[in-house]
Structure 1
């Protein structure tokens, strides 16, 4: 009975290990030409900040939204808010136009309550949307819960 030779299997393993090691060495030594994260930053990002402040005894809230987008881009930033205010649903919407600086910007949007139910101090749900209309069309969205406080509570 003839014993099978391991020489062929061993040389294949050596070649495979050598190829992987060689490829890793080449990748480590050569400069990267496709660093995607620095060459193509995201078009935009938004984040609803907490807390928002009651305005005019609940007729509106002043909600802060953090925005970052490509410098020079312009667009529309909107904030829609829904809150369970004592068993009734308070809703409102506000928007503003922005010009992007390329850095984080804090933008305050006044959200006016619909006529029948005012906002109250408590927890609300918001949806912020940014639609860019210049220098390449783009958009960003954030949805989250946030607190609504009275004006004097925000400073404390």
Structure 2
């Protein structure tokens, strides 16, 4: 009867464990790619001018972990002669699929109207109700007449 030494047995277990881990690692990576653990958000350019600048329509692309629900805030600022046009929008009950989704938000101007002449600056944030993690984006966008 042959007796196994501790070192050989440990080596066999390590190799077998490594083989099992190597076989499931691609599956784990694929699930991770499909369902992000953190969210992502982006204000798309161009936005569309509405009601002579009283509002703009902004397409927002977002992603958050599948099965969760979230909400987003976006604020748009545009430098104008004599001041700044500013507006904000909030949208809730966003369904998270784990992939990228697009939703439309209407940003209403506060004191001055937006225009299609100068670029604007969009600052957005996405949060999920389940874990409260935030994804943020800040970027320059254009505003078109249509």
SS at match of 2:142: strand
1:129 aligned residue: 125
**What count of residue pairs does the alignment treat as equivalent?**
122
- Please state how far the C-alpha of 1:103 moved relative to its aligned partner: 1.8
1:140 aligned onto 2:135: yes
- Please state how far the C-alpha of 1:137 moved relative to its aligned partner: 3.0
Bigger Cα Rg: 1
1:50 aligned onto 2:45: yes
Contact 1:71 1:101 in 2 (8 A): yes
Picking from 96, 99, 102, the partner of 1:100 is: 96
Superposition pairs for residues 1-156 of structure 1, below 5 Å?
A: 30=19, 31=22, 37-38=29-30, 40=32, 41-97=36-92, 98-114=94-110, 116-121=111-116, 122-134=118-130, 136-151=131-146
Runs of 4+ displaced beyond 4 Å: 32-40
CA RMSD of the aligned region, Å? 2.1
* TM-score for the superposition, normalised by structure 2: 0.74
SS at match of 2:99: coil
Deviations 1:130-153 (A, max 9, x none): 01112x3322000000101101xx
Structure 2 residue runs of 5 or longer lacking an equivalent are 1-14
Separation of aligned partners in 2, 1:63 and 1:48 = 7
